[in-house]
């Protein structure tokens, strides 16, 4: 691309040069532009000229689709469709040099591009791709991916996607996008070099379900035995594309000869995080059932390790198997419990290792007997627990309380265990909170926890006011800051909106498909008139001619529906785009929640370090913490040790403060930019949808006119009879 306009080239550089791992390089590129005095409007609220940044210079079109066969990464035969992208530079108005460039891309490459954009521009509502598989179709349309009509509609959709990206004030400057349009070979490698898969902290959009991940891992494990190293690496690479997020965690684990305990633990973490975050997983009962099936092997994988560590023999497996008798109503509750169980075990294990403590054997046995009872509680809660999201705040609080009660029978209170459990619960809460899904809910959990605390305090000698402090601190931290609260509300509303939008559009599309089905029926049955009229006309003398030609008009009427519905499909595609946009919108919201969580975690970490430092300095344990507890348990260190630790801590504190500052800044930037882009998106949405509605209305009008025309003709024929 010698003809590359200099302007975008320069601006694109920073984005590319950003080290991977930095969450917002694209954003900063934009900010830098601002500093450089480049076009002001990098924040996203583009003026028209700015919006057309690229479109003014380059025309983009997806002009052709072609069916191809090739070998994929796993050396398996596959058929796919490739799309021809044509770009034409029109930078000079005098028509000096008009360069046309064209290259072939397949759908998966579009997906890769979009995933990359999603990761690099978390604050932007990234335009969606057209559907991978035809959805919401009425019966006549085939759902075949190779169907010419479908390919054609997808071609239009892909072109639309490219145009949308190209007209986006920020996205259009992206180097990878530019290369996507201009460089046929090596593009994938370039994308992978950016290391965007590794950069992901957690980018939840398009996240595969946790259970799919598990299944994949198992499959990969099995396949591994039959593959040589190179193929295996290829496969992993392929999976990386498929699962950009999770593979970050998975790949290292898979590369090793044996899965170490740490890896398993990591996996456990991941599974839990994913399962909580991936809301979709909680939506469909059927899906959940499959999830459970998936859960069994992973649990069975964990069991030997757990037993090796002399952890109380897990009781999960029989429980999980029992669920196979499908009690769908309660299934989501149960699933959650399984995951919770798993989490508790894994987390407990982690703590065990950390504290190097062993639970008394008899307590383990008691626990083993008690747990199933605890888990049956929510089932008894009945229909309230079986609502779509299944876990009402109260039931979780209730559950937690029950659980802790059972694990901690009065009288046999062991302080270490108490701390352990408490810490465990706090961790649990944090993870729950991280999901954003339970953001509202966790307050109730805390309250439940609080009640439990106060209840316990009466019957136990362990009365630590710091625990209360901890609770207060957690509550205040979460809801303390006004600005955050406002953002929180804004984003919650937005998230709510995108949820609603998604559900209303998908409903609309479903009903529309049915309406189209029926309309098709009405028209096509009229076609039978055509046949009967002409047959009838054969036996009539005077009426014959009129009937014959009227029959002909009926034929015309019946066949006119094909075109009408084809046009309507276009309208459906427009709606579908916004259906997928809703998902993109949600991704931004989720990203915001995650950042918020990160920030809070950092702040919390910092605070606890400060406290530790203080404790060490003054030599008193004033707060409830594990570190403090261990100190207490294992005795005091020497003053030198203490000095050294204080020093280390102080360094960490400094570092943490820096980090917190940058995270704060980052968060604020994110909110600002995200909001700007959301505003832009809203405007675009209003404009687009209005246009779509107008064209829909026009379509309907032309349909009516056609109908009137045909029936008027028919009437004329009848009147001649």
Partner 1 sequence: MSTRLHSLALPGCPTYRGRQDARETSLSPRGCQGGRDHSEPGKPQRRSRLQPSRPRCASASWLTAAAYQDLILPNGGTPAGTSSPASSSSLLNRLQLDDDIDGETRDLFVTVDDPKKHVCTMETYITYRVTTKSTRVEFDLPEYSVRRRYQDFDWLRNKLEESQPTHLIPPLPEKFVVKGVVDRFSEEFVETRRKALDKFLKRITDHPVLSFNEHFNVFLTAKDLNVYKKQGMALLTRVGESVKHVAGGYKLRSRPLEFAAIGEYLDTFALKLGTIDRIAQRIIKEEIEYLVELREYGPVYSTWSALEGELTQPLEGVSACIGNCSTALEELTDDMTEDFLPVLREYILYSDSMKSVLKKRDQVQAEYEAKLEAVALRKEDRPKVPAEVEKCQDRMECFNADLKADMERWQNNKRQDFRQLLMGLADKNIQYYEKCLMAWESVIPLLQEKQEAK
- Which residues in this chain contact partner 1 in the complex, by CB under 8 A? 497, 500-501, 504-505, 507-508, 511-512, 514-515, 517-519, 521-522, 525-526, 528-529, 532, 535-536, 538-539, 542-543, 546, 550, 686-687, 689-691, 693-694, 696-698, 700-701, 704-705, 707-708, 711-712, 714-715, 718-719, 721
Least distance in angstroms from the C-beta of 529 to partner 1:
6
Q: Which residue's CB is nearer to partner 1, number 568 or number 598?
A: 568
Parallel, antiparallel, or unpaired: how do β-strands 99-106 and 58-71 relate? Answer: unpaired
Q: Which residue's CB is nearer to partner 1, number 373 or number 708?
A: 708
Strands (E), 41-172: 58-71, 77-89, 99-106
* SS3 assignment, position 194: coil
The residues near 72 (Cβ < 8 Å, ≥ 6 apart) are: 78, 238
206 φψ region: left (φ > 0), alpha (ψ -120 to 50), beta (else): left
Q: Which residue's CB is nearer to partner 1, number 532 or number 648?
A: 532
Six-digit token pair at 331? 């299934």
Least distance in angstroms from the C-beta of 717 to partner 1:
9
What's the chain's Rg over C-alpha atoms? 31
Six-digit token pair at 152? 């054609």
Quote the CA–CA distance of 253 and 260 in Å, as a whole number.
8
Q: Which residue's CB is nearer to partner 1, number 243 or number 501?
A: 501
Strand partners, 59: 88
Least distance in angstroms from the C-beta of 132 to partner 1:
25
**DSSP state at residue 385:** G
Q: Which residue's CB is nearer to partner 1, number 104 or number 536?
A: 536
Quote the CA–CA distance of 263 and 251 in Å, as a whole number.
10
Q: Which of 281, 259, 305 is nearest to 251 (CA)?
A: 259
Q: Which residue's CB is nearer to partner 1, number 633 or number 701?
A: 701
Pair 216, 193: CB distance under 8 Å: no
**DSSP state at residue 208:** P
Pair 85, 61: CB distance under 8 Å: yes
Q: Which residue's CB is nearer to partner 1, number 462 or number 721?
A: 721
Least distance in angstroms from the C-beta of 130 to partner 1:
21
Q: Which residue's CB is nearer to partner 1, number 359 or number 718?
A: 718
Pair 232, 255: CB distance under 8 Å: no
Least distance in angstroms from the C-beta of 559 to partner 1:
16
The DSSP-derived string for 280-322 is GGGT-HHHHHHHHHHHHHHHHHHHHHHHHTTPPPP-HHHHHHH
Quote the CA–CA distance of 309 and 52 in Å, as a whole number.
62
Measured in whole angstroms, how far is the alpha carbon of residue 697 from the centre of its chain? 35
* SS3 assignment, position 42: coil
Least distance in angstroms from the C-beta of 584 to partner 1:
17
Least distance in angstroms from the C-beta of 168 to partner 1:
20
Least distance in angstroms from the C-beta of 549 to partner 1:
12
Least distance in angstroms from the C-beta of 507 to partner 1:
6
Six-digit token pair at 566? 């084809």
Q: Which residue's CB is nearer to partner 1, number 608 or number 700?
A: 700
Six-digit token pair at 487? 């953002």
Task: Give the Å distances, CA to CA, from 408 to 314, 375, 400, 403, 447.
Answer: 18, 15, 12, 8, 19
Least distance in angstroms from the C-beta of 446 to partner 1:
32
Q: Which residue's CB is nearer to partner 1, number 170 or number 692?
A: 692
Describe the crossing of helices 328-355 and 285-308 by its angle, rounded to 10 degrees: 30
Strand partners, 68: 80
Q: Which residue's CB is nearer to partner 1, number 415 or number 527?
A: 527
Least distance in angstroms from the C-beta of 689 to partner 1:
6
**Phi, psi angle pair for 16, to nearest 5°:** -75, -35
Least distance in angstroms from the C-beta of 683 to partner 1:
9
Q: Which residue's CB is nearer to partner 1, number 320 or number 579?
A: 579
Q: Which residue's CB is nearer to partner 1, number 306 or number 561?
A: 561
Least distance in angstroms from the C-beta of 566 to partner 1:
18
Least distance in angstroms from the C-beta of 284 to partner 1:
21
Q: Which residue's CB is nearer to partner 1, number 518 or number 668?
A: 518
Measured in whole angstroms, how far is the alpha carbon of residue 251 from the centre of its chain? 20
Measured in whole angstroms, how far is the alpha carbon of residue 300 from the centre of its chain? 28
Cα angle 91, 156, 16 (rounded to 5 degrees) comes to: 50
The residues near 371 (Cβ < 8 Å, ≥ 6 apart) are: 315, 341, 406
């Amino acid at each position: 691309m010698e003809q590359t306009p200099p302007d975008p080239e320069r601006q694109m550089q920073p984005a590319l040069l950003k080290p991977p791992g930095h969450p917002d390089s694209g954003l900063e590129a934009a900010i830098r532009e601002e500093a450089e005095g480049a076009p002001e409007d990098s924040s996203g609220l583009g003026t028209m000229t700015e919006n057309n940044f690229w479109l003014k210079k380059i025309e983009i079109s997806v002009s052709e689709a072609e069916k191809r066969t090739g070998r994929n990464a796993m050396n398996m035969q596959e058929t796919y469709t490739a799309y021809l992208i044509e770009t034409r530079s029109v930078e000079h108005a005098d028509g000096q040099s008009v360069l046309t460039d064209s290259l072939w891309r397949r759908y998966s490459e579009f997906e890769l591009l979009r995933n990359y954009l999603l990761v690099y521009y978390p604050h932007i509502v990234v335009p969606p791709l057209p559907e991978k598989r035809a959805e919401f179709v009425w019966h006549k349309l085939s759902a075949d991916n190779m169907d010419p009509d479908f390919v054609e509609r997808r071609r239009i959709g892909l072109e639309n996607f490219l145009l949308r990206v190209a007209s986006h004030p920020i996205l259009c400057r992206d180097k990878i996008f530019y290369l996507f349009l201009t460089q046929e070979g090596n593009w994938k490698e370039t994308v992978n070099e950016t290391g965007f898969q590794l950069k992901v902290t957690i980018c939840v959009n398009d996240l595969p379900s946790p259970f799919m991940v598990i299944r994949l891992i198992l499959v990969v494990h099995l396949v591994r035995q039959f593959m040589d190293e190179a193929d295996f690496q290829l496969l992993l690479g392929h999976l990386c594309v498929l699962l950009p997020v999770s593979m970050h965690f998975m790949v290292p684990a898979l590369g090793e000869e044996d899965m170490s305990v740490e890896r398993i633990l990591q996996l456990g973490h991941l599974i839990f995080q994913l399962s909580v975050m991936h809301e979709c997983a909680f939506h469909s009962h059927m899906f959940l059932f499959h999830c459970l099936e998936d859960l069994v092997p992973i649990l069975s994988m964990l069991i030997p390790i757990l037993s090796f560590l002399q952890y109380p023999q897990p009781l999960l497996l029989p429980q999980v198997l029992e669920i196979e008798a499908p009690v769908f109503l309660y299934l989501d509750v149960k699933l959650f419990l399984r995951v919770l169980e798993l989490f508790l075990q894994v987390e407990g294990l982690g703590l065990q290792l950390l504290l190097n403590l062993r639970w008394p054997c008899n307590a383990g046995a008691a626990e083993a007997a008690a747990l199933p009872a605890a888990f049956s509680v929510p089932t008894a809660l009945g229909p309230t627990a079986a609502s779509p999201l299944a876990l009402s705040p109260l039931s979780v609080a209730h559950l937690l309380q029950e659980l802790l009660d059972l694990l901690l029978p009065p009288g046999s209170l062991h302080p270490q265990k108490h701390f352990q459990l408490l810490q465990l619960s706090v961790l649990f809460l944090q993870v729950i909170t991280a999901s954003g899904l339970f953001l509202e809910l966790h307050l109730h959990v805390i309250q439940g926890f609080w009640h439990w605390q106060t209840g316990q305090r009466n019957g136990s000698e362990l009365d630590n006011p710091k625990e209360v402090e901890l609770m207060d601190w957690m509550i205040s931290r979460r809801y303390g800051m006004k600005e955050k609260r406002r953002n929180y509300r804004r984003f919650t509303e937005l998230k709510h909106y995108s949820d609603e939008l998604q559900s209303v559009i998908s409903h609309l599309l479903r009903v529309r498909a049915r309406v189209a089905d029926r309309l098709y029926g009405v028209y096509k049955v009229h076609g039978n008139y055509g046949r009967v009229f002409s047959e009838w006309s054969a036996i009539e003398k005077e009426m014959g001619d009129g009937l014959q030609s009227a029959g002909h008009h009926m034929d015309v009427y019946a066949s006119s529906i094909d075109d009408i519905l084809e046009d309507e499909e276009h309208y459906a595609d427009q709606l579908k785009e916004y259906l997928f946009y809703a998902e993109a919108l949600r991704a931004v919201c989720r990203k915001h929640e995650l950042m918020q969580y990160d920030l809070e975690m950092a702040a919390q970490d910092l605070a606890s370090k400060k406290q530790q430092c203080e404790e060490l300095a003054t030599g008193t344990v004033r707060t409830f913490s594990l570190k403090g507890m261990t100190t207490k348990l294992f005795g005091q260190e020497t003053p030198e040790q203490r000095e050294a630790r204080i020093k280390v801590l102080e360094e960490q504190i400094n570092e943490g403060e820096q980090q917190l500052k940058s995270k704060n800044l980052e968060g604020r930037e994110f909110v600002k930019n995200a909001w700007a882009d959301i505003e832009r998106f809203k405007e675009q949405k209003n404009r687009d949808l209005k246009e779509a509605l107008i064209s829909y209305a026009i379509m309907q009008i032309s349909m009516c006119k056609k109908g009137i025309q045909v029936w008027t003709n028919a009437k004329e024929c009848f009147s001649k009879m």
